[in-house]
Amino acid sequence: MSSQTTHTTPIDERKKATIVLIHNKPLVFLLEDAKYLRSLGIVGVFTGTLPSAPQQNLYMGLPLLLMIEEMIWLVLKGHAVVVPGKDYIQKVYQRISIGDLQILDQKQEQFNQKHIEMRLKKFEELQKRLNKTLKAPSNLIGDNVQVKIPLTPQHITDSKHEEVADSISVPITQFLASAIKTYPLYEHLKSSEYYMLPGMRFGGRYVAYPGDPLRYHSHLIVNEVEWEEDIGLLRLVGGGRLSTGVKKVWCIGSSKEVEEVEDSTDPEDKEKLEEIVCYSVEWSGFG
């Protein structure tokens, strides 16, 4: 009886997922990327339909639509890269100055030089191993060996793209600025291992699941509020009654400012000045 050994690629070595930003909508078009995001707790919403049945909404397919908060989390955690759409690229080109183009040329020249040095180093190591194996003088693998080092676009790595992207200053668009306000609450729930989906159908920002939505019923309808915001009695009653009527709990969360630590040398104290506080509201007596 023979046994087969399967080899799996570690998550750390996996290529980052690609998110395409089209009209301010983060979309994932590759099936492997959608599977990878699912393993990270990012579910998304399938939006693809067949041309023969454009109005059906039960059996959707790729592309996978993500929330802006999910895109921010994936990029900050190093799991994905964002590829802007055509309209966004045109806006960026309109803002690029001659100085930016010069920086891009310098970055590309530095990358090309580094790539050449890396290939030459690998060739020298290979030559040393061959000399040792053949037990021959080094001049037998003489200086006449031609080494072709292609510099085609497929040799441009993700790090090069990141360097070039960092060299271009692009203002934050309005849709991203609005998501930054709610992102701390999203990250807090994500760190608690909740799966999140858009909560518009239940009047919330998110609907939180304790696990994969295919296995669990959602527990929370989540809304983000300001710490000093007056929620209002009608909103409080409406949120509690609605959530209890659909067998959920209404959760409201906000960033609370914490008093600054005096005489502290910890450089991370600035990040500790805010904490996320959540309250749950459940309407009793029915449901």
**262: its two tokens:** 């005096």
| Catalytic annotation present for 7 | no
| Catalytic annotation present for 181 | no
Sign of CA dihedral 72, 78, 80, 81: positive
| Catalytic annotation present for 209 | yes
Which residue in 36, 79, 206, 248 is the catalytic one? 248
Q: How far apart are CA 116 and CA 110, in angstroms?
A: 10
Q: How far apart are CA 57 and CA 65, in angstroms?
A: 14
Cβ contact 94:202 at 8 Å: no
Angle between helices 158-166 and 98-134 (to 10 degrees): 160
Q: What is the largest CA-CA distance in the chain?
A: 91
Please compute Rg for the chain using Cα positions: 26
Q: How far apart are CA 206 and CA 183, in angstroms?
A: 11
Q: Which residues have a Cβ under 8 Å from the Cβ of 186 and sit 6 or more positions away? A: 67, 69, 70, 73, 196, 206
Which residue in 15, 122, 217, 272 is the catalytic one? 217
Which residue in 36, 186, 194, 209 is the catalytic one? 209
State the catalytic residues: 209, 217, 248
